[in-house]
Structure 1
């Protein structure tokens, strides 16, 4: 559905802050984008609401009436499995006086009941009953429907987009499934979620994910597992891929390659043999973020046998990333930092992400 016009602060940064930059001449984003609170308001509407957001796994929506609630770009959303097997997504907001249709995930609902005054909707969003409204004049229930949100199911993952201005889903994710074949992400089953609250702007965490430049200095263990000399980054319109052969991993990952996908603006798909780890990076104020790690595995016995070691290794890497990201946020907030040059060989993923952000900022500020 169309989003309301943005109300934005004046652009007080140098004009070049929002201009696209060629890789060989690129500077990092201006520190103000990381430290000034009003930019998060801009990003909620110009970035998150206008992109495809990871919202659920299909395992949570197996049967008719199963539903998942969440907050996307600051807006409450509900996703519902339909009787015909499809999915529908709506704002989780009753058309009466804005009460919630659900306050938690659920299974097998036959209808959606507002938790405030009991108005009832069909699973496809049509108002079916309105409590004690018989005296209301010119009140036509057949004309009242929940506003829909775009929703797509892909490789067992469920995504939503609040705005019709989001790019077509197939343009965003096209090519990933073919590249990782014969891996079938939808065949993997959820194991656990780890959630981290980190004292850095959400973009600091994404920037850090998007380059292997820091591997020898921050991740001594991971640097032994990944082949830094062969570590490569490929860029596509809406996503980037970092990949490396695995080596010397003592049975942590198995044999094969590691694929680290980043899908703009805040989704990571980390794929190693028999495992998918999704990361969702969510702003929590301008100086903090929450990162959700969801782990999925195949039922292969060899994969199951290495889960404990793999998760312990992941915890080690995450602790290292949290430490450096929090220090970087302090540096960005110091007032002393001026945007530095990017390394064209090692930081092309950062450049790609930051140019997409610059384009979004520039559009909002005309």
Structure 2
């Protein structure tokens, strides 16, 4: 642990820093965006916004899953306005330009282009895409490392818990009045457990909460109390991918940056096939919702105080907040090329 103080408070609301995070972090990292079961059939598609970029995911007639920027090559309309569905081709609603499920442009209708116009040069812009653990990940950079390489230690930790026969249980989604980093900070330490999470505190020995911070991820471990059947394994991968294993299933979580002072938190719960919906919902599902709502009572208040100009930074525990320190160091390192001079001037290090 190198850092012993938090990021300066302006990192949590500054428009310029937020823009640089989108450019230098979210355009460079693998990001979980969907579930494989949502795109299981040929022609299945989903549209979404990822780090402010409109994206369409579609399963081709060759059964290959692809991702494209949801931008027509003609005049920049979205080629698909629906959230999800099944289609035989992608048709721009503006001028009717049609694209195959492989992203290739068909001859545009009644388009009188120049002699040099070649529709073969106007395919949709592709986006890197891979699947793992029943999830779909994309990467907006030009030549990313493979998803497996990016996952690092996460691959074995999650792989030991996830099973291909798991069933999607449900999704929880919250828009939270807080910077995305404010929410990650909260996840990256167990120091707040006794005051914020009464049931979780009854299930674990929080004083023995430990983190292994390596390869852009933090693997959390905390001993369970003897009578507990809920807590299991926890982990975070930079910048916003999280897994929680409660009892018999697995929960994936992502924290999406919406605006400098707003984020969206999404949970997807999966259960073993031999566990009924009601059984899982009344136990693991209820547990996850309870913990989530407890966090959300405090996080917007923290965000508000970060913006007051009173608080500038605070000390970090070298025992209980190593995950926060690691996260903050990663932020500085990832933004270093853009923010090096600014950080030195403000004394962030």
Same fold (TM over 0.5): yes
Question: Does the aligned pair in 1 maintain the 2:133–2:159 contact within 8 Å?
Answer: no
Question: Does the aligned pair in 1 maintain the 2:205–2:225 contact within 8 Å?
Answer: yes
> Which ranges of structure 1 fall in alignment gaps of 5 or more residues?
1-22
Question: 1:88, 1:177 → 2: CA distance?
Answer: 22
1:218 aligned to 2:196? yes
1:157 aligned to 2:135? yes
Question: 1:165, 1:197 → 2: CA distance?
Answer: 32
Question: 1:302, 1:105 → 2: CA distance?
Answer: 29
Question: Does the aligned pair in 2 maintain the 1:274–1:303 contact within 8 Å?
Answer: no
Q: Which moved further from structure 2: 52-61 or 123-132?
A: 123-132
| Residue equivalent to 2:344 | none
- Residue pairs, 1:326-341, within 5 angstroms: 326-341=300-315
- Residue pairs, 1:37-56, within 5 angstroms: 37-56=15-34
CA separation of 1:181 and 1:114: change in aligned 2, threshold 3 A:
closer
Question: Does the aligned pair in 2 maintain the 1:211–1:350 contact within 8 Å?
Answer: yes
| Residue equivalent to 1:190 | 168
CA separation of 1:211 and 1:185: change in aligned 2, threshold 3 A:
farther
CA separation of 1:40 and 1:132: change in aligned 2, threshold 3 A:
same
> Which ranges of structure 2 fall in alignment gaps of 5 or more residues?
341-349
Match of 1:117, SS state, is coil
CA separation of 1:180 and 1:89: change in aligned 2, threshold 3 A:
closer
Question: 1:93, 1:154 → 2: CA distance?
Answer: 26
Question: Does the aligned pair in 1 maintain the 2:67–2:138 contact within 8 Å?
Answer: yes
1:291 aligned to 2:265? yes
CA separation of 1:180 and 1:197: change in aligned 2, threshold 3 A:
closer
| Residue equivalent to 2:178 | 200
CA separation of 1:248 and 1:195: change in aligned 2, threshold 3 A:
farther
Q: Which moved further from structure 2: 100-109 or 73-82?
A: 100-109
Question: 1:303, 1:66 → 2: CA distance?
Answer: 25
Question: 2:79, 2:13 → 1: CA distance?
Answer: 36
Question: 1:335, 1:165 → 2: CA distance?
Answer: 40
- Residue pairs, 1:262-277, within 5 angstroms: 262-277=236-251
1:122 aligned to 2:100? yes
Question: 1:65, 1:300 → 2: CA distance?
Answer: 30
Question: 2:161, 2:277 → 1: CA distance?
Answer: 14
1:97, CA displacement in angstroms?
Answer: 0.6
1:37, CA displacement in angstroms?
Answer: 2.4
1:134, CA displacement in angstroms?
Answer: 4.4
1:28, CA displacement in angstroms?
Answer: 0.6
Question: 1:306, 1:295 → 2: CA distance?
Answer: 10
Count of residue pairs the alignment pairs up? 340
Q: Compute the TM-score of the two structures, normalised by the length of structure 2.
A: 0.90
Q: Which moved further from structure 2: 240-249 or 344-353?
A: 240-249
1:242 aligned to 2:220? yes
Question: 1:277, 1:249 → 2: CA distance?
Answer: 22
| Residue equivalent to 1:138 | 116
Q: Compute the TM-score of the two structures, normalised by the length of structure 1.
A: 0.86
Question: 1:294, 1:202 → 2: CA distance?
Answer: 18
1:309 aligned to 2:283? yes
1:170 aligned to 2:144? no
